[in-house]
A and B are shown apart, each in its own frame.
Chain A
Amino acid sequence: MDIRHAIATELPRLRRYARALTAGDTHGADDLVQLALERALKKTHLFQPGTNMRAWLFTILHNINANEHRRRAARPQEVWDEDVPASTFTAPPEAHGKLELRDMARALEHLPPEQRETVLLVSLEGMSYKEVSEVLGVPIGTVMSRLARGRERLRTLMENGPAQLPHKPTLRRVK
């Protein structure tokens, strides 16, 4: 199979993951996937045939995102001037009638990035702990403890309901 075809096959999953990672920010998520795609296409010679294409692509995306986080650390956060209803802009993807799902999307935003990544790779992407450990470049034990902490935090946030969630006036975006 053409390697480009193999990469293209994985793109929908990369996009789903990026979308969840960026709290539903379509532009930021697709920018991230685009960067990962371009880097992967440039580095196809580094991919070892017979190894896990999905894990390779997710690793690239993770590294780009991590770099972006570091680069962005010095940059100001966005603050909405008052009276702007923050919910208008931080709304999760549309058409989720259920309050519970919205709570989930918001709770996810309140996880530290490394817990969010881990929970998403395991629960949304269905990766094994070993795959996640490769993608994130951390030992399996770290994957498991991040997963446990992230899931428990989600549980607490969901149980306490949306009222308990601190209002986030900032948009969390990749770019």
Chain B
Amino acid sequence: MTAKTDPELDTMLHAFVDGELDAQDEQAVRAHLETNAEAARRAEDYRHQRDALHALYDEVLDEPLSADMRAALSAPLGKRAPRVWNTPLWRMAAAVALFVVGGFSGWWSHTLSPSGTPVETAQSTPYVSRAIGAHVVYAAEVRHPVEVGADEERHLINWLSKRLGHDVRAPKLGEAGFDLVGGRLLPDDAKPAAQFMYENPAGQRVTLYVSLDTGRTQTAFRIVEKEGTSAIYWVEGDLGYALAGDLPRAEMLKIARLVYDALIA
């Protein structure tokens, strides 16, 4: 009878490692381990896994609580804590963060494409490079970033839906700290396309490009990067979407998921 083929002993071995056995069973396993090198090695490996997990993740215990967590804890019980996006301190922190990210992004994209070539492939759907181009041009625009502002959101949506011949929507991205600035109509090869622009309190902008020129059907989130601006794009139904921005990828993905969830909701 070996440890490998004995389910009961197998269970006991785990319970032994986890200190779940009573004294008698523990003694029995100990005796077994003395004579069974394979079982002893497994027990050792399980302990080793535990040590490795602690070595990997224990440092999280020392991290200070996030601003959102502190805000939630200090709010009156039973009420949802206000998010800290709009507090003056947070704005300041965000402005500093923007500066740091900005200074960082050159280096970051450089490491992504050491050859200097854009991380974009021949298979990329054509509308995506137009979406990135439109982001680069309009996100930097101070006075006229959009044609129709968020204060006329209903008109904006109706107008763009009419021009595209499709219901388009501007999803709410408040959960990620981004508010709608407005949108514009754009040429997309020979078809119309819509661009929605969002901004966070730190002044960072992302744009959502909606295209009729999907080219192909695919359901994955795909990611391309061009000179520091990245786009996450996907096709849903007849429309192609591309979320473009200069934020870190984790942020971009988070926003893309919000957009996706809002659009299918």
Interface size range on A against B: 35 or more
Is the beta-carbon distance between B57 and A124 smaller than 8 angstroms?
yes
Is the beta-carbon distance between A16 and B257 smaller than 8 angstroms?
no
Contact with B along A156-175 (1 / 0, CB 8 A): 00100000000000010101
Contact with A along B65-78 (1 / 0, CB 8 A): 11011001101011
Q: Which residue of B lies closest to A40 (CB)?
A: B72
Residue in contact with A93 in the complex, picked from B10, B59, B121, B225, CB distance below 8 Å? B59
In the complex, A104 has a CB within 8 A of chain B: yes
Determine the distance from Cα of A147 to Cα of B14 in the docked complex, in whole angstroms: 8
In the complex, B189 has a CB within 8 A of chain A: no
Is the beta-carbon distance between A15 and B20 smaller than 8 angstroms?
no
Tell me whether A88 and B56 are in contact in the complex, defined as CB-CB below 8 angstroms, given that A27-B250, A144-B11, A175-B257 are known contacts. no
Shortest distance from the beta carbon of B125 to any chain A beta carbon, whole Å: 11
Is the beta-carbon distance between B77 and A4 smaller than 8 angstroms?
yes
Chain B neighbourhood of A96, CB < 8 A: 55-56
List the 8 closest A-B pairs by CB distance, nearest first.
Answer: A79-B220, A16-B60, A123-B50, A104-B52, A78-B221, A124-B53, A12-B61, A76-B219
Interface residues of A (CB under 8 A from B): 3-4, 7-8, 11-13, 15-16, 19-20, 25-28, 30-31, 33-34, 37-38, 41-42, 44-45, 71, 74-85, 88-89, 92-93, 96, 98, 100-101, 104-105, 108, 119-120, 122-124, 128-129, 144, 147-148, 151, 154-155, 158, 171, 173, 175
20 A-B Cβ contacts within 8 A? A12-B61, A13-B61, A15-B61, A16-B57, A41-B73, A76-B221, A76-B260, A77-B220, A77-B221, A79-B221, A81-B119, A81-B123, A81-B222, A83-B119, A92-B56, A104-B52, A104-B56, A151-B45, A155-B45, A158-B45
